[in-house]
Structure 1
Amino acid sequence: MGSHSVISPVTPPERKPLYRQLYVQVLAAIALGACVGHFAPEFGASLKPLGDGFIKLVKMIIAPVIFITVATGIAGMRDLKAVGSVAGKAFAYFLTFSTLALVIGLAVANLVRPGEGLNIDPATLDTAAVADYADKAEATSITGFLLGIIPETLFSAVTDGQILQVLLVAILTGVAIAATRPASDLVTDVLTSFGAVVFKLVGMLMKLAPIGAFGAMAFTIGEFGIGSLANLAALVATFYLTSLLFVIVVLGLVGWFTGFSVLALIRYLRAELLLVLGTSSSEAALPSLMEKMEAAGCRKAVVGLVVPTGYSFNLDGTNIYMTLAALFIAQAVGVELSLMDQLTLVLVAMISSKGAAGVTGSGFVILAATLSVVPGVPVAGMALILGIDRFMSECRALTNFIGNAVATIVVAKWEGALDETRLAAALAGTPMPLPPEDIERHERSGSVSEKIAKVLEKSA
């Protein structure tokens, strides 16, 4: 046991100087990218590959991170009934707060009425501008979405990078490993060791985050211009303020009842939030979110189940945006929706919002899918907000990200799988030693090569 004591980080690491801290680097990159995009718009727009390349690098590693975290987490559960318990509680939370977000967006739109007075003639709108989004929306269906969760092969889920497919295969693998123990202990050890390599790779990729944030922000400002915000300032301001109030008030109360401060959680996740802001994609910070939630005392299996499913089923920011934007378009073109129409809008949005996995622009596709089945509101009206969607996407991604972090802690607390001492220490910025089960797992993984050698020796 003594030879492995170095695994536990009892001694706090030396504090890095500010310029070496990731969140400071990302913040500086965002500011620099905004300046480049504003003062040299053509050059800024040409930097789009920097942001796209970084997001692709991160998405490359998402599938292995989810698979290893979920499979090893479930494999380590002594009672497999806990998997169903976690999933049930997670979906109850998702349904409650996703619906609440839709209703809040609807209420704010009716109260503020940001589109009133624009008097836009639908016949003058450029339908070609939103044709691609409408086509994508028509291609989606509930049946297609459910069948899409099942991968073509066991390995194609990881190679294709579809989050829900990876999650399904990981859950089945974790259950199979747990059901065949102790014969499957070697598999668990190999996956655990491979997981250490994967998370080391995540850390290496995160060092490129400032470059990705710089390129993405330079493109956004260079392509669309800050001036484009002025034309629809009422909608942008309403959406940002509503999302802020949702996080501070609604999620703040959830955190207070659960025993933590949502502001402290935001501070804890500041580097990831700045990365999401810079790239307009919450997927860019998914691996790091899973790692930080586990470090904050949430049990590995809970993190592995809640975070990936939350990226498809717990989209608070996207839901606020959908009802708010739908009513803005209706108000802008002079269509008055009845109470029944608005309730229909909420019900349709509850279904159509499922399956968007944090990808930039997915909220726009979901909005098209929602409007296509709500009578009276022209889908062509989406052309009104196409120019500012990139700016709205940033707020959607940030709100979704914070919502999923809160959901993970809440479900862990409900499940009795939250180390509140570690959570308090993490939110206070004080490092804590690894829990005993993690140390034991590291010790087991240290002898993987010996076990492999014994297996090969037996088979010879």
Structure 2
Amino acid sequence: MNKKSLFKQIAVAIVLGMLSGWALHNYAGSPEHAKEIASYFDLVTDIFLRLIKMIVAPLIFATLVSGLAAMSEAGTVGRITLKALTWFITASLISLLIGMGLANLFEPGKGLNLVSEAHQHVQTGLNTNGFSLKTFITHVFPRSITEAMANNEILQILVFSLFFGSALAWLATQSEGKSTIVSMVNELAKVMFRITDYVMCLAPVAVFTALTSAITVEGLGLLVDYGKLIGLFYLGLLILWSILFAIGYYFLGKSVFRLADLIRAPLMLAFATSSSESAYPKTMEALDKFGVPRKITSFVLPLGYSFNLDGSMMYQSFAILFIAQAYNIDLSFTQQVIILLTLMLTSKGTAGVARASVVVVAATIPMFNLPEAGILLILGIDQFMDMGRTATNVIGNSISTAVIANNERKMSAATATDANPRVSTTPTPDSGNAAPSLSQKSV
């Protein structure tokens, strides 16, 4: 499906979904009837997300293994990993600081004046167990690759693919001819992208049903009631987007605007469905068109899905301070710094967890003696917040992947120049490995 055609179809689906949801919410009359109506729309959305989950695991495996097998230098993987993690940690810190800064400045929770009962415990339906550094580190390593793929554990698939791809790269150095396994993996990647095209034909319909369902149940009135919190959160996201694109402009030059145009479709898809997974195939396709080598995209992008959740990080800081303000609980600067550092750790284990950001908030607030009932304040509007934070995650991962690819290209050009001073550093268009649209700046 054409990129611009998909973008237009998703845009129309968003508008129609909001209008139909508003009409059905008014028609329903009662919350129970509204949920029953929404359940029929959820059917289509669930089918689409199931299809996406079906292709994500083999797509990540095939593209990452293929890319690793093509990496000739042993230190390339470690170098790219270090650059990616440096970016991810810095971006996470910026996201948290923006969220905490706006929440402290405008205090969206003030005025609710809720009363906190000592040791109050409520049932939120969220699984908050296992959010510890020890559990996260252990969980990174798969017990079984089939189990990891069945559960779409992106980080575990990444770890196995690293071992598998590195072993294939070693095998390539031991044999003169091209490995049969490498050829099979390359063909698998092509097949998975073709299947992705089939699945994406359902994307506009899924966008329509997802928004219709959410607004049918919650109604547009909820946006007015929580207008200050939602408005500040989206203001924070806009500030973060500006910073990310400014950094992208510094490293990529004017081509960052072309990148912004290329990721419009996956961005809107992520926004409407509140699912980063749904946008993964189209994000990878957009980066391919931008000129990012597949071997870098297939490594950095899934890594970012586990570590580079900029929008989610900002939401978590907003939510925790909103709850504290709603119950008139003052948090000192030191306490807020500790909360920030805690979120930096706990949020890294959220890939693949349903409503992960809310789960992190629910798991974190008891650590600082905040009322657990506060989580109920944000559950109602979580769908609307989730749309923004998911779209932001797509932007953050796209820019980080493009910047790292640009830096790798510059390093390769510099190495070639050192080896042969007569070699020109001007990039030559190459559909497989070069990025002619990337600027000449380096990290």
**What amino acid does structure 1 have at the position aligned with 2:135?**
G
1:455 equivalent in structure 2: none
> What's the secondary structure of 2:129's corresponding residue?
helix
Note closer, same or farther for the CA distance 1:159–1:184 as it changes in structure 2 (3 Å cut).
farther
CA deviation after TM superposition for structure 1 residue 357, in Å: 2.4
Note closer, same or farther for the CA distance 1:54–1:419 as it changes in structure 2 (3 Å cut).
farther
Kept after mapping to 2: 8 A contact 1:276/1:398: yes
Kept after mapping to 2: 8 A contact 1:409/1:418: no
> What's the secondary structure of 2:367's corresponding residue?
coil
**What amino acid does structure 2 have at the position aligned with 1:393?**
D
Residue 411, structure 1, aligned to residue 404, structure 2:
yes
User: Which residue among 268, 271, 281 is the counterpart of 1:274?
Assistant: 268
User: Which residue among 247, 251, 255 is the counterpart of 2:244?
Assistant: 251
2:129 equivalent in structure 1: 138
Distance 1:22 1:73 in 2: 28
Distance 2:411 2:211 in 1: 37
Note closer, same or farther for the CA distance 1:437–1:277 as it changes in structure 2 (3 Å cut).
closer
Residue 153, structure 1, aligned to residue 144, structure 2:
yes
What residue ranges of structure 2 are gaps of 5+ in the alignment? 26-33, 414-427, 435-443
Note closer, same or farther for the CA distance 1:433–1:214 as it changes in structure 2 (3 Å cut).
farther
Kept after mapping to 2: 8 A contact 1:316/1:399: yes
CA deviation after TM superposition for structure 1 residue 140, in Å: 2.5
User: Which residue among 365, 387, 390 is the counterpart of 1:394?
Assistant: 387
TM-score (norm 1): 0.83
Residue 77, structure 1, aligned to residue 71, structure 2:
yes
**What amino acid does structure 2 have at the position aligned with 1:31?**
V
1:22 equivalent in structure 2: 6
Kept after mapping to 2: 8 A contact 1:45/1:223: no
2:423 equivalent in structure 1: none
**What amino acid does structure 1 have at the position aligned with 2:431?**
P
> What's the secondary structure of 1:161's corresponding residue?
coil
Residue 435, structure 1, aligned to residue 431, structure 2:
yes
Distance 1:383 1:186 in 2: 55
Note closer, same or farther for the CA distance 1:17–1:387 as it changes in structure 2 (3 Å cut).
closer
1:88 equivalent in structure 2: 82
**What amino acid does structure 1 have at the position aligned with 2:260?**
I
Kept after mapping to 1: 8 A contact 2:304/2:397: yes
CA deviation after TM superposition for structure 1 residue 295, in Å: 2.6
Mapping of residues 419-430 of structure 1, within 5 Å: none
Mapping of residues 288-303 of structure 1, within 5 Å: 288-303=282-297
What residue ranges of structure 1 are gaps of 5+ in the alignment? 1-14, 421-431, 439-460
CA deviation after TM superposition for structure 1 residue 167, in Å: 0.6
User: Which residue among 311, 316, 323 is the counterpart of 1:317?
Assistant: 311
**What amino acid does structure 1 have at the position aligned with 2:18?**
A
Distance 2:266 2:326 in 1: 36
**What amino acid does structure 2 have at the position aligned with 1:118?**
L
Residue by residue over 1:402-424, the C-alpha shift from the partner in whole angstroms, topping out at 9 and shown as x without a partner, is 0110110111122227999xxxx
Distance 2:335 2:38 in 1: 42
Distance 1:29 1:269 in 2: 18
| Coordinate RMSD, CA, aligned | 2.5
CA deviation after TM superposition for structure 1 residue 326, in Å: 0.8
CA deviation after TM superposition for structure 1 residue 178, in Å: 0.6
Distance 1:90 1:350 in 2: 16
Note closer, same or farther for the CA distance 1:418–1:23 as it changes in structure 2 (3 Å cut).
farther
Note closer, same or farther for the CA distance 1:16–1:281 as it changes in structure 2 (3 Å cut).
closer
Q: Which 4+ stretches in 1 moved above 6 angstroms?
A: 15-18, 417-420
TM-score (norm 2): 0.86
2:417 equivalent in structure 1: none
Residue 349, structure 1, aligned to residue 343, structure 2:
yes
1:97 equivalent in structure 2: 91
Note closer, same or farther for the CA distance 1:330–1:308 as it changes in structure 2 (3 Å cut).
same
2:227 equivalent in structure 1: 233
Kept after mapping to 2: 8 A contact 1:33/1:44: no
1:379 equivalent in structure 2: 372
Distance 2:353 2:202 in 1: 19
2:163 equivalent in structure 1: 172
Q: Larger deviation: 141-150 or 92-101?
A: 141-150
Mapping of residues 213-224 of structure 1, within 5 Å: 213-224=207-218
User: Which residue among 258, 262, 265 is the counterpart of 2:259?
Assistant: 265
**What amino acid does structure 2 have at the position aligned with 1:177?**
L
